[in-house]
Amino acid sequence: MDNKNLNGTTGLNAKYIKNGIMRFLTGKYSTNKKLNGMIGFVVESMNINSNITNINTLLKNKFPNTNTETFLTTLNFIKDFQHQYFSIHRDLKANKIKLYHLMFDFSANLF
């Protein structure tokens, strides 16, 4: 994720939805157990929790086809790791899919 076009349909947040979440819902990525995970790479310094709000806004307003039942919500299943979330969506066959999201801040490691 970067700081460009955070709420638009062409920024990295939108790509996270289109090229990530949507691939589970359309069957491009396997969801055999209806439980999957995604990793988000943060490439520019930002408040990650605030950016989750931006992703949720996109899911609500620009990507209704994600059939989101539970928007990205904070979790605490990995000790001492702050940026962990889950969401629940319905796929094309109306099956519930739970996604775990881990956001890694690589902004200080890039050239």
Q: According to the model, what pLDDT value does residue 111 have?
A: 59
- C-alpha 40/C-alpha 54 separation (Å) is 14
Q: According to the model, what pLDDT value does residue 10 have?
A: 73
21 class by beta-carbon count within 10 Å (0-12 exposed, 13-18 middle, 19+ buried): buried
Q: According to the model, what pLDDT value does residue 82 have?
A: 93
**Which residues constitute the domain of residue 75?**
12-109
Identify whether 6 is part of a domain: no
| Mean pLDDT split into 10-residue runs, the chain, 111 residues | 60 93 94 92 92 96 96 94 97 95 90 59
Number of domains the chain is built from: 1
DSSP state of 106: -
Identify whether 4 is part of a domain: no
Give Cα 68 distance to the centre of its chain.
11
Query: What does pTM read for this prediction?
Result: 0.89
Identify whether 34 is part of a domain: yes
